[in-house]
Amino acid sequence: MENLENSTDCKETASPLNNSGSLLNNTDSRPDGRAMGFVLVHAGAGYHSESKAKEYKHVCKRACQKAVDRLRAGGMALEAVTAALIELEDSPFTNAGTGSNLNLSGEIECDASIMDGKSLNYGAVGALSGIKNPVLVARRLLSETQKGKLSAGRIPPCFLVGKGAEQWAISHGIPACPTEKMTTKFSLSGYKRNKRKMELAEQVEMKRKRQSCEHENDFGCLEPVGDIMVEGEENNSACLDTVGAVVVDREGNVAAAVSSGGLAMKHPGRVGQAAHYGCGCWAENARDISLYSTAVSTSGSGEHLIRTMLARECSTAMQAENTHQALLEAMQNKFISSPFLAGEDCVLGGVIVLRCCTCGEAQRSEDIQAVLVEFLWSHTTESMCVGYMSAQDSKARVSSSYI
């Protein structure tokens, strides 16, 4: 499908609809014994260098394969989406789990969330340190909420942050992993370079303030001082590579998940969209035969995605007849031109979207439940890497789209 964007200026362009597809998927086990289902993953919307394009494609393929393996074994959507996220988090090339960006203190703090379209339950962690796979903690939180109230009638948490999240994870059997084991040579070298640049910028600013009264020009204005950007910020979309996945299983249930190490050099304790309800991911089974089941996972600038609740907005938009036009309008009206982001120079984000419905003819059959699956992705960042695979496919397909 053709790329629909007209301009690369973030302030003016309508969101590009970079690709889409559809397939007729018999989601029950077929007579030939082949299990059914579908997965769509992303390795982030941001900037992905051409030199690492092969690595991003490989990890997307592996994530799809892990999810499909679960589906073929009879696993549900929630199991499959978790398997995909673990693979994405374990890659040293993604900004999630191992290899995550370091914060100002040189520590790794991760965000993650997961949502089950069948139960509508949700689990999330924010600013989590010391755990290799944050999505496992989010998944466990979701599972625990389904068990009902705790002792003395206490409501179980669905979202934990910081040290409390780490302690809860360990107490529930999820092993600890020190930051040094999750830090890669690439993330550490990037942190050191960024720290030097920030120190230099602070020195320049201090010097400028000291000389402000002595070095005014003829108009009484200070001479401009050039910006010293944190590494990658010159393209306005680097290091935004949150990872995520959406899945539909053999019963037509959908699930979505997202995980991120956050912005490079972020303030300790900062929590991005990957943990926030309705912002990082969304999954919702159709409650009526006239509606679609939808699953969404987002990536980009967390602050932009939080203020617009983009995941839920895109899910709502997918009830329209024309999915392509609906996603374009949602990205333009609910994100790029959102009044909640009116003061932003460049709005950065990307989404993967899946919607499915039971086909009319199949609804009358008790033997085979055919589900039509449609999937799309869109982004305003320089690039986005995605992968997708049906349980009937022999291998995953991947795409790296660039604006």
Catalytic residues: 242
| Partners of 23 in the β-ladder | 373
Hey, is 25 helix, strand or coil? Answer: strand
Structure tokens at 391: 């349980």
Query: Helix (H) and strand (E) counts for the chain?
Result: 9, 13
CB burial of residue 135 (10 Å; 0-12, 13-18, 19+): buried
Of 303, 290, 286, nearest to 354 by C-alpha is 286
CA atoms within 13 Å, Cβ hemisphere of 199:
7
Q: How far apart are CA 319 and CA 286, in angstroms?
A: 10
Tell me which H or E stretch contains 39. Answer: strand 38-46
Q: How far apart are CA 184 and CA 193, in angstroms?
A: 14
Structure tokens at 144: 């625990």
Q: How far apart are CA 261 and CA 101, in angstroms?
A: 6
Q: Strand 122-128 relative to strand 159-161: parallel, antiparallel, unpaired?
A: parallel
Structure tokens at 47: 């900037």
